[in-house]
Structure formats: C-alpha cells, structure tokens
Structure 1
Amino acid sequence: MAEPADRVYESQGLRLHYVDWGNESAPPLILVHGGLDHCRNWDAIARDLQPHFHIMAPDLRGHGDSEWAKGSSYSLTDNVYDLTRLMRFAGLQDAAIVGHSMGGMVALAYAGTYPESVSRLVVLDGAFLLGSQAAPIHEQMSRWIDQLDRIAEYQPSTFRTIEEAAKRLFARNKRLAPALALHLASYGVRKGADGLYRWKFDHYQRARAPYRLSPDDYAALWSRITCPTLLMWGEESFLPDPAGLLAHFKTAELQKVAGAGHWLHHDRLDVVLASLRRFLDAPLGAGKAAARP
C-alpha cells in the first residue's frame, strides 16, 4: 500500500495515534519510535516489510499526532501501559516488536513484563543502563522540579517553512539525505494559528522524573525475555557499546553497524533492513530494492 491508515485508541484518557500498514492476515509487527520522533520515521522499513507483516507504528504519548499528557506523565511505565492498550485494541496475541532508542527501552520493558506476548524483539540503539550510583532522592526531586520550571518558561522553536525544520534535523544528523530530512520534518511539525511551524512533541517529556526504574529493575525485566532478541548498535552512537549487557538476556545477539550513529535506520537503511529480514524471517523478494520514503 502507498500510505498507511491513521488509527486512534485510548490509554489513560489520552487519544493516541498510530498508523496501520494493512495486510491483516500476516503476522503482526509493531514499530516503536524514539524520543522527540514520530511514527512516520519508520516509513522506509514499513514499506519494505509490509508484504510480510501486518505493521502498526504508534505515536508515543506526547509525540506526533498523539495527545500530550497532563501532569508530566511520561515515564517508561506509562509508555509500556500504552503499548499494552494498543495490543489489546488491535487484538494482537503475539507480535514482533522493533524499537529505536527510547522506543527500544519501552519494547524491552514490555517484553520483560509479558514475555509470552512477543515473538521476536529488535532494539536499535536502545539498550542501555542508567548510572548505577543514583543521586540522593532530595537531589533527584530538586533536579526534576528545576527541569519542569525551565520547560514551563521555554519558548519552542518556530520555523517559517517545513524546509527550515528539515534543515534543523539535518544539523542533528549530517547523514540524512535531503529528501528523508524533508519527509521526517513534514510529519514532525504542526502549523500554528500564527502561520509558523513547531515540533509536534511535548517538551515536558524531556523531564527525567525521580520515579524511574533502577538498573536492577531493567536487568530483571530483560532476564525475563524469552523470545529471540537482536540488539543493534551504531558504532558512532553517543550511547555506549551494549556488549556488556548481553549477560542479562536469555537469548540475545548483538550486531554493531559501521558507519552509523544513533539513528541506525536512517544512517544505514540497507544494513538495518537486511538484518531485519534475516532476523524476522522476511527475505528480500527477487529484484526488490529498499526504497526511501
């Protein structure tokens, strides 16, 4: 199909958006984006894999065309709950999940909570542990309150055109092709009554609340994952090499991708697609080439 269908579901009173790429009779595959991103960043991968899977890609709360949470409710556990609601709403019993960055952390936590509900799991640059030495709780509370105060005073960036927003994305990732940057920007901004464009995501989701999971909590969840798991990491990512984390998993493999930073599926789409096809058992059809959105 050329374009996915827009769908909505409800979680904790929020109206959340996702796109459905059709092919309902095929095995389900959920694509979960990272922070400050949106569901249409998966378009190239979704179009390539759509003949093999029923693909759904949600906009996490506070992102894309999903509603913003009130009261800074953007914890990992909230996002995991939203994923359970999507699974129930769509009637999915067993799904493969691919997550990038924060979306990978959400996918890992979901798979550790409900190991029987995930058939295969792929995490793109999203397996990492926060520092093991947590600051005293009063410092965490004070830091969080200061963050919320700063965000309350923050004036979001504005752009006169979508092309200006695309240039901002390119400044973050120099590997982006101009067409891809424009595609990501076109779904990542919203035009206001003043005629200016602003990012769709809620800046309050940047705040790091003091009620996060501990490293031991993450490790405990990961140890419960029973499905085959692939961790992919860009060798030029700002996140650390996750090789030392493999010991927390029952069955996981690590693939390091040369020439890629944090946004693996944008930097090396060819490598990521080839790995996904192999791992998800969806071989490339004869004469078919990966297409950019």
Structure 2
Amino acid sequence: MAPTHHYVTIEDTEIHYTAWGDPDATPLVCVHGLSRHGRDFDPLAAALADEYRVLCPDMPGRGESEWNPDRYDAASLSSIIVGFFEELGIESGHYLGLSMGGQLGIGLVPGPLTDRVERFVLVDVGPDPSGDDTADEGVQRIVDYLTDPPAYDRLTELEAYFRDVYDTFSAMTDAEWRRLARTSARRTDDGRFAPNYDTRIVEPLLLADDADDGPDQWTQFEAIDQPVMTVKAADSDILTDATFAEMRERKPEMETLVVDCGHAPALNVPEQIEPIRAFLEG
C-alpha cells in the first residue's frame, strides 16, 4: 500500500501530509521528531492502514512543508497541529508523537485537543527533556547534527551520513535505510543532496534555556485523562531511565513498551507496531 499526498494551508503555511487507509476509518495523527518528517511513519502507517486513517504531517521547515521560520517555536508548532485537526475535520481520533511530536502532544492532549484525542502514544520522550540534566548529552547531540548538515554529490553518500548520525535508531534493513535517504533528501542550489529540513528549526531549541515562563510539562502530563502508552528506547539519551520511572510513578496505569535501541525506535517491525495496535484498540 502506498500513501496519498495532500497539502493544506494552516496559519499561512503550506503543510504537506501523507494519508493511509480508509478515509472513513478512525484517524491516527502521527507527529514526527525535530529534524524528521511524516514519511518516517511509513512502516507503521502501512501496517495500521487496515484499521485506521493514518495521517502524517510534515511540520513547517521539514519534508515537503513550507519553510517558515515564524512557525518553528513550540507554541507555533502546537497551533499548526491544532489547525491540522480542525482543517481535516478530525473530531475524534488518536495521537502518536515521536520525540518532539510527543513533547508537543503532552501540552496538546490535555489542552486544546482534549476533546478530539481518544488515546495518546508517546514515543521515546517525556515531559521537559531539556530540564533533565541526564538528557543534556542527548539534546546536545541533536543540536550538533542539526546545526550544519553536510551536502553530498551522491544520494548514496547522504544515505551513509544518515546511517551514521541515526545509528542509535532501532535496526533497519538496507531497503529501509534507502527509503529513509530518498524521503529525507533535497537538492541544494548547486545540485547536491542535503537533509530536507531548514537548519533554522534548531533556533528555538537553542533558546529553550531562556524560556522559563512556559507551562510545566509535568503538570500537563498529569492532567492527561486519556489512556497513555509510552514506547521507550532502552538506551535512549532523550527519555532517560529517571524520567521514565517518574512517568510510571505519576501514571501507574500508563502502558509501556521498552525497545532495545537508542533514540528512537523506528516503529518498523511487528514487535514495535503490534503493541501500539493493541493499545489503540483498547
């Protein structure tokens, strides 16, 4: 099964998204990580499209969505996601957020999306990773590779770069790495291949330490009334063991899945996909 591609304008920004499955099925909105895009969910979406309308948007500055630096901060991205639900008429569905997508969901699910989201899947992120000292190294690792990405003459060279920079991902086949490279590449002005994101997306992360007046994510996390499932990478440097333990203490009813990898699970094999399916089915 292949996705269909769509574009919608939200807050004067064109957003690309892929759609899988029956348009009348229960929606599952999947929101990606900081420098990634909606095509990362292709394996998960293909597997779940028999039961769900899986919708995978590219956030501004990523994938095929418009580059708009005014929409790269957390508040703007959250507003884009709410607008996505509204524009597509999603009154009731599920939300899966990986890394940045999950952190945004922690604020959205008990807030503006509380009446629209039935079940919430967090993938390898918890409340306020920037405030977790043990996650500093992981956050800095992401900042380092986001800031000045290389460009290559050949797509195979870009694929080798992705294999190196994302070597903490759970295991992928050669075909899956090639798909990741093809869906994550853009041509530069001089015809070379580079990652398909605007490097300015890192700027809000660099300024995060100065933003002390934002909402407390632990309070937001505790306010989530919907069933929650957290998928944790065993060796994650973003969702640390200490944060994961506190999440389980504060929400003992939370369902969990631990995957043998670093940040982040690729959601590409039955061992990762089927527990998510079972959770969504309730």
- Could you say which TM-score interval applies, normalised by the shorter chain? 0.7 to 0.9
TM-score by length of 1: 0.81
Q: Alignment partner of 1:264: what SS?
A: coil
Q: Cα offset for 1:168?
A: 0.9
Correspondent of 2:188 among 188, 192, 198 = 192
In the alignment, structure 1 residue 264 sits paired with structure 2 residue 262: no
Q: Do the aligned residues in 2 keep the contact of 1:162 with 1:182 (CA within 8 Å)?
A: no
Residue 6 of structure 1 aligns with an amino acid whose one-letter code is H
> Does the 8 Å CA contact 1:224/1:250 hold for their aligned counterparts?
no
What is residue 279 of structure 1 aligned with on the other side? 279
Q: Classify the secondary structure of the residue corresponding to 2:278.
A: helix
SS of the residue corresponding to residue 237 of structure 2 reads coil
RMSD (Å) for aligned C-alpha atoms: 2.4
Supply the AA of the counterpart residue of 2:269.
L
Q: Is the 8 A contact 2:69 2:200 kept in 1?
A: no
Task: State the shift of 1:167 in Å.
Answer: 0.8
With over 3 angstroms needed to count, the CA separation of the structure-2 counterparts of 1:206 and 1:193, relative to structure 1, is closer
Tell me how far 1:12 sits from its aligned partner. Answer: 2.3
- Residue 75 of structure 1 aligns with an amino acid whose one-letter code is D
Q: What secondary structure sits across from 1:112 in the alignment?
A: coil
Structure 1 residue 172, shift from structure 2 partner: 2.2
Is the contact made by 2:69 and 2:201 (CA closer than 8 Å) also made in structure 1? no
Equivalent of residue 161 in structure 1, options 148, 154, 157: 154
Q: How far has the Cα of 1:250 moved from its partner? A: 8.2
Change (3 A) 1:47 1:231: same
Q: Which residue of 85, 88, 92 corresponds with 1:87?
A: 85
Matching residue's letter, 2:59: L
Please list every run of 5 or more consecutive structure 1 residues that lacks an aligned counterpart in the other structure: 134-146, 283-293
Matches within 5 A, 1:188-227: 188-207=184-203, 208=205, 209-210=207-208, 212=211, 217-227=216-226
Partner of 2:229: 230
For 1:41, the equivalent position in structure 2 comes to: 40
Following TM superposition, by how much is the alpha carbon of 1:127 offset from its aligned partner in structure 2, in angstroms? 1.2
Q: 1:201 to 1:25 in 2, by over 3 A?
A: same
1:77 aligns with 2:85: no
Contact 1:93 1:117 in 2 (8 A): yes
Is the contact made by 1:116 and 1:226 (CA closer than 8 Å) also made in structure 2?
A: no
DSSP-derived class of the 2:131 partner: coil
Q: Is the 8 A contact 1:219 1:248 kept in 2?
A: no
Residues 155 and 236 of structure 1: CA distance in aligned 2, closer, same or farther (over 3 Å): closer
What SS does structure 1 have at the residue aligned with 2:47?
helix
Residue type at the aligned position of 1:14: T
Measure how far apart 1:247 and its partner are: 4.2
Q: Distance in 2 between matches of 1:214 and 1:261?
A: 31
CA contact (8 A) 2:127 2:217 kept: no
AA matched with 1:243: A
**What is the number of residues matched between the two proteins?**
260
Work out whether 1:123 is the aligned partner of 2:119: no
Distance 2:181 2:212 in 1: 32
Structure 2 length as normaliser, TM-score?
0.84
